[in-house]
């Protein structure tokens, strides 16, 4: 059985102030496990894990609102191993960044000592590297949010063939081929299909986010026989024409400005018989989640832009036909049955809209709202409308 600690005992053991513990309680970050008959707040051994996660994320530069959204579904002892691994990954990346700053400082100092003339380009480079930290923290947050969204589909999907396995099966990769992935994210497409990649295949994984490319490199270092990792914008691909057998863009194109320019580039780097695979959502995709959020508070918008209006199953074919001679659409049949209100909350909080503005001080109320919605069936059914286009030059 777990031991119970008063606020004072808990604070002393954790080497923080009682004021800090009370503040995290007030902010909804670390609620006590119970209240004693005398009215004292009581904490358990499991709460030390929660506190450690909060302090680590705070050290890494996350705001309290962001920490709250990342820990809202933490349960006693649940996911502690995963939480610690996430924190370790973030700390390692911050160490790498600080090492880069140190190296740049040493190089700049050496230049200043050896030359009477200051190379201001080097100084500007140092400023850029030093200021990257805020951007890196944002990338870490994006990576965590991406994982939350992937996990919801993985845990609650009805189709036994997961999305990444399905997409990989469409690609029909042959031994020795060269593949280009645009917007690779954390490399999940290849991670979930390890062991299925034919021999001699070279995969170039690219993303506009340096943080995502680094995460893909770490995830796939023992999986890909030949992996090339590059940061670039798909509107300007730094590759020779007709150099890839296949290209893939998994839920990427609706984020791309000047989409026709990007598609022209993709067509350019594909070989004459090359194939491009790109995925998209339809108008009905995950509609129940938006409906739930709006029912709770009509001001909530989970996305500033309807992505399917930019590039979706309904209009994507016409856009692609301007650049490819053959375009075929294939649907992925699936839906979700979510029985955990906390997991649904995590997903909603990970979206790109204004939900934090209206939910940050109403987490408990929103969770109770979702629990009531699940009472009748024991779960909430979520529509999935997703698929892919197979495009040939």
- The confidence band for 262, taking pLDDT boundaries of 50, 70 and 90, is very high
Q: Residue-wise over 227-246: b if at least 16 C-beta within 10 A, else e?
A: bebeeebbbebebeeeebbb
pLDDT score recorded for residue 261: 95
Integer Cα distance of 182 and 216 in angstroms: 12
Task: Indicate the pTM of the whole model.
Answer: 0.69
pLDDT band for position 140 (50/70/90)? very low
Q: What is the largest CA-CA distance in the chain?
A: 78
Q: State residue 117's pLDDT score.
A: 67
Q: Is the pLDDT of residue 90 over 70?
A: no
> What would the mean pLDDT of 180-188 be, rounded to a whole number?
93
Higher model confidence: residue 251 or residue 124? Answer: 251
389 touches 277 (CB < 8 A): yes
Mean pLDDT of the chain: 84
CB–CB of 42/34 below 8 Å? yes
- The dihedral sign for the CA sequence 308, 310, 316, 318: positive
Residue 135 has pLDDT above 50, yes or no: no
- Express each pLDDT in 343-358 by its tens digit: 888 888 877 788 878 8
First-to-last CA distance in the chain?
65
- State mean pLDDT over 216-241: 93
pLDDT at 260 over 80: yes
Radius of gyration of the chain (CA): 24
Residue of higher predicted confidence among 341 and 129: 341
Residue 199: its pLDDT value, please?
94
**80: β partners:** none
Q: Check residues 298 and 121 and name the one with the higher pLDDT.
A: 298
Span 275-293, average pLDDT: 95
CA torsion sign, 226 to 228 to 229 to 235?
negative
What is the arithmetic mean of pLDDT over 296-309?
A: 86
Report phi then psi at 265, rounded to 5.
-65, -45
Q: In what order do the strands lie in the sheet with 226-231?
A: 226-231, 202-207, 178-182, 244-249, 270-281, 386-392, 326-332
- Asked if residue 267 has pLDDT above 90, the reply is yes
- C-alpha 142, offset from chain centre: 5
Residue 361 in this model has a pLDDT that exceeds 80? no
Query: Could you report the per-residue pLDDT of 23-53, keeping only the tens digit for each?
Result: 888 887 888 888 888 888 889 888 887 888 8
């Amino acid at each position: 059985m777990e031991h119970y600690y008063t606020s004072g005992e808990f604070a002393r053991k954790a080497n923080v102030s009682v004021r800090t513990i009370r503040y995290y309680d007030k902010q909804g970050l670390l609620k006590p496990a119970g209240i004693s008959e005398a009215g004292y707040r009581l904490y358990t051994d499991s709460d030390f894990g929660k506190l450690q996660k909060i302090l680590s994320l705070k050290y890494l530069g996350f705001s309290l609102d962001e920490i709250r959204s990342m820990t809202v579904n933490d349960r006693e002892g649940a996911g502690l191993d995963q939480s610690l691994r996430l924190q370790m990954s973030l700390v390692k990346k911050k160490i790498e960044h600080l090492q880069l700053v140190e190296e740049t400082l040493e190089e700049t100092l050496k230049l200043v000592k050896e030359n009477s003339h200051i190379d201001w380009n080097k100084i500007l480079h140092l400023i850029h590297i030093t200021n990257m930290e805020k951007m890196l923290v944002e990338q870490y947050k994006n990576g965590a949010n991406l994982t939350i969204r992937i996990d919801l589909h993985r845990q609650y999907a009805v189709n036994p063939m997961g999305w990444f396995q399905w997409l990989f099966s469409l690609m029909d990769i042959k031994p020795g081929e060269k593949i280009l992935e645009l917007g690779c994210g954390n490399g999940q497409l290849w991670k979930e299909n390890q062991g299925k990649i034919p021999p001699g295949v070279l995969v170039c994984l690219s993303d506009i986010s340096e943080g995502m490319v680094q995460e893909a490199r770490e995830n796939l270092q023992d999986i890909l026989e030949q992996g090339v990792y590059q940061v670039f914008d798909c509107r300007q691909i730094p590759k020779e024409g007709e150099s890839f057998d296949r290209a893939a863009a998994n839920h990427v194109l609706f984020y791309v400005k000047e989409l026709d320019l990007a598609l022209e580039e993709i067509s350019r780097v594909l070989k004459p018989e090359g194939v491009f695979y790109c995925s998209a959502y339809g108008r009905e995709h995950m509609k129940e989640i938006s409906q739930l959020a709006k029912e709770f508070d009509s001001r909530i918008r989970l996305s500033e832009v309807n992505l399917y209006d930019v590039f979706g199953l309904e209009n994507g074919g016409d856009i692609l036909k301007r650049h490819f001679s053959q375009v075929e659409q294939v649907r992925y049949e699936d839906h979700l049955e979510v029985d955990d209100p906390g997991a649904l909350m995590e997903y909603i909080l990970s979206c790109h809209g204004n939900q934090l503005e209206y939910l940050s001080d109403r987490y408990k109320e929103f969770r109770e709202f979702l629990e009531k919605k699940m009472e009748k069936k024991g779960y909430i059914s979520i529509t999935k409308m997703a698929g892919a286009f197979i495009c040939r030059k």
